[in-house]
Structure 1
Amino acid sequence: MGDSKVKFVYIGLALMGATMVFGVTGYMTIENSGFIDALYMTIITVSTVGYGEVIPLSHAGKLFTVVLIILGTGTLAYTASQFIDYVVAGELRNMFGRKKMESKIDALNDHYILCGFGRMGRIIAQILSENNLPFVIIDPEPRQSETSENQYLFVTGDATHENVQIKAGVLRAKGLITVVDQDVNNLYITLTAKGLCKDLYVVSKCAQEEAYSKLMWAGADKIVSPYTIGGQSIAQSIIKPHVTDFMDMAMGNTGYQIMVEEITIKEGSPVDGAALIDSNIRKHGIIIVAIKKKNDAFIYNPGSDELLLAGDTLIALGRKEDFESLENFLERG
């Protein structure tokens, strides 16, 4: 819709240009005037400003002027109407688009809020989208074309402000991820979010080591240093290249379909209270690497007699289709 309206504006501008060329050429040919005088006469004729003639007009020149007035005013009116239509339609489209997006955000529950849409934010948004997790982006200047193309929901504004986080649904959100450039802004965003909703799970980026303790004090539940993780990953790729390759594969960074997932056992689940060997989980091709118990204790390489209880989280390894099969089994009971 927008591209077609721009096309008509360009057509109008081209017609205006053609009219100017027609007028200048006509006056120079009919009245033998110079270029400047012909251009001046064409402009005052097309614009109908009513200034006096600078060229004495013959009968042929007067008839030409009549034609130029009709042609020029018609072309000018067409161009102006197309330009106004383009501007008004664009504003209305943006207004209705904004209202529609606000309605979608207001309807969200248990979603995630992503503060910052830079290089790291775009990667996080892509992963959340691939996993069908609902989220809202907060950024002072989100890349409109990219967010629109990917149908991302976003709020334009400063994520350190309470009203901006409230617009993004922080009071109904499941978690908040803050990956803006400055640690001080990540700190303020964390403080604001925890002040509005103390039980909200907050993950924050931390670039400087000295900011870590401040983010902990602010209430961040998880603090991630991209430089530390990046450095460790590079070092491990030299020291233990095969382990690194396997971890990349498990995290979905290669073409392999194997992945690591976490499965939380819900109350009333068919595996609630069952031993691992009796749960039939392994029949779905899933390998249980560890269990995080309700009291936050980790059990690595759990035995076959390990009891699975509601609230436990299974750290599992398998293919995407295996996890889909297991999910169907757990839902059906």
Structure 2
Amino acid sequence: MIKWASDPRTAHLFYASLFVFTVSIIATVAYMLNGWGFNDAFYMTVITIFSVGYGEVRPVDTVMLRFVTGILIIVGCTGMIYLTGALVQFITFGLLQELLGATRMTKQISDLEDHVIVCGFGRTGNMLAKELTRGKAKFVVIEPDQTRCLEAKAMGYLTVNADAIEENVLRQAGIGRARALASVVSSDPINVFITLSARSLNQSIQIIARGEDPSTEKKLLQAGANAVILPTHIGAEQIASLILFPAIAGVIQSSERRRQMEIDLRTLGLEIEVVAMAEGSLFAGRSVEEIEQRSDNSFFVIAVERSGVRLAERPTPHMRIYPGDGVTVIGRPGKSEALRRFTEPLLAVDDAAMTSN
């Protein structure tokens, strides 16, 4: 099937235009067969079809001319009504579809509970949304820039195209029912305003704010943030860890405490990470002992969280880890191939290995 024919709007507009064009050609030829020149025949056809009413170009004084004109009035005007309707449908359908889509999305957002609100869909917000999706968390993105908002929609995320500093926008995103809010816009003052607004609307919500300038950390904490993320020290994956696995992330929730911990571990040639076990991972359903052995002891599991509950700070070797579990590991710097198997399905890991070969 021709591609445009799959869209009813385009198909109707095409067939209506083709119908009017065909009627115009036939009528013009019919007038010419009755002794009219092309210019007079074409002009008579146009003013008749479009119902202009300028009068007859030449006398319609024969039975055949009257028959042609009568048929042209009936068929031509019908074609124009069809064409006008198709044109209106073509113009308004997109607007209507957008309106209905926005209404449907608003309904989906209003049904959310215990979800996450992501304020800002820049580089960090984009990465954070992917991490939250991987962790199977419900979330909504608030982004004032229309281009970025459309990008988020194209990726299947629930979005609100507005400024998060407005309290009514936060209410629209379900601030009263949300469990966490991440303010990750690139402006420190805006992050402070968002934090203040969010805290005033929900006293119990977990707020994680991004700060570009280290001096902003204190202001964000005073504004009501539970944790402040400085991009030079912590990334989107760690923000997602704080949201998805608060029980084990609580060990390193303070950014100052985390930095000190990272410094201490780095002196030993180690680093700490919180990762989510992916669906279809090679390690899914295996015991801690098996996972550590298969990783050639490149990292060690020190804590496990499931469904927001911290299961074990020092898990036993026989404890099994399942998709969606949050796992705190300590290992050598850099995401090794073994650690990557936590966060990627087996097929993705195999494809990456084939590509590298």
Give the TM-score normalised by structure 1.
0.63
Cα distance 1:207–1:18, how it changes in 2: closer, same or farther (>3 A)? farther
Q: 1:79-128: CA deviations, max 9, x gaps?
A: 23334455666555545544443333222221101122344433322221
- Distance, in Å, in 2 between the alignment partners of 1:228 and 1:56 is 88
- Are 2:125 and 1:121 aligned? yes
Q: Which ranges of structure 1 fall in alignment gaps of 5 or more residues?
A: 231-239, 291-299, 302-316, 322-333
Aligned to 1:14: 18
Residue 170 of structure 1 aligns to a residue in which SS?
A: coil
State which of 28, 52, 65 in structure 1 corresponds to 2:55: 52
Contact 1:285 1:318 in 2 (8 A): no
Whether the 8 Å CA contact 1:137–1:153 is kept in 2: the answer is: yes
Q: Residues of 1 paired with 2:44 and 2:232: CA distance?
A: 68
The verdict on how the C-alpha distance between 1:190 and 1:249 changes in structure 2, with shifts beyond 3 A counting, is: closer
Deviations 1:165-224 (A, max 9, x none): 101111111111223343333332222112212332222333455654543443333333
Cα distance in 1, alignment partners of residues 24 and 186 from structure 2:
52
Residue aligning to 1:178: 183
Give the match for residue 203 of structure 1. Answer: 208
Note if contact 2:304-2:327 (Cα within 8 Å) is conserved in structure 1.
no
Equivalent residues in 2 for 1:268-279, closer than 5 Å? 276=314
CA distance in 2: counterparts of 1:197 and 1:190, whole angstroms: 10
Question: 1:223–1:54: structure 2 CA closer, same or farther, 3 Å change rule?
Answer: farther
Q: Residue type of the partner of 1:3?
A: D
Relative to structure 1, is the Cα distance of residues 41 and 225 closer, same or farther in structure 2, using a 3 angstrom cutoff? farther
| Secondary structure of the structure 2 residue equivalent to 1:223 | strand
Aligned-pair identity in percent equals 29
The correspondence for 2:304, drawn from 263, 267, 271, is 263
Go from structure 1 to structure 2 and tell me whether the alpha carbon gap of 1:157 and 1:208 turns closer, same or farther (over 3 Å shift): same
Asked if 1 retains the 8 angstrom alpha-carbon contact of 2:276 and 2:327, the reply is no
2:350 aligned partner: none
Q: Matches of 1:261 and 1:150 in 2, distance apart? A: 34
Q: 1:142 and 1:134, CA in 2 relative to 1: closer, same or farther beyond 3 A?
A: farther
Contact kept in structure 2, 1:206 and 1:225, CA below 8 Å: yes
Q: Paired residues, what number? A: 277
AA of the residue aligned to 2:72: L
> Could you say if the C-alpha distance between residues 219 and 130 of structure 1 is closer, same or farther in structure 2, counting changes exceeding 3 Å?
same
Residues of 2 paired with 1:67 and 1:261: CA distance? 87
Amino acid at match of 1:64: V
1:155-304 aligned within 5 A: 155-208=160-213, 211-226=216-231, 263-264=304-305, 276=314, 280=316, 282-284=318-320
CA distance in 1: counterparts of 2:109 and 2:156, whole angstroms:
12
CA distance in 2, matches of 1:152, 1:95: 17
Unaligned ranges ≥5, structure 2: 236-265, 285-300, 332-338, 344-357
Separation in 1, partners of 2:208, 2:43: 66
Amino acid at match of 2:68: F
Higher RCO (CA 8 Å, separation ≥ 6 residues): 2
Q: Secondary structure at the match of 2:125?
A: helix
The aligned residue for residue 41 of structure 1 is: 44
2:72 is matched with which residue: 68, 72, 82?
Answer: 68
Match of 1:104 in 2: 108
8 Å CA contact 1:2–1:90 kept in 2: the answer is: no
Stretch of structure 1 that moved more, 108-117 or 139-148: 139-148
Output the aligned Cα RMSD: 4.6
Question: Does residue 32 of structure 1 match 2:37?
Answer: yes
TM-score after normalising by structure 2:
0.59
Change in CA separation of 1:120 and 1:289 when aligned onto 2, cut-off 3 Å:
closer
The 3 A distance-change label for structure 1 pair 173 and 268 is: closer
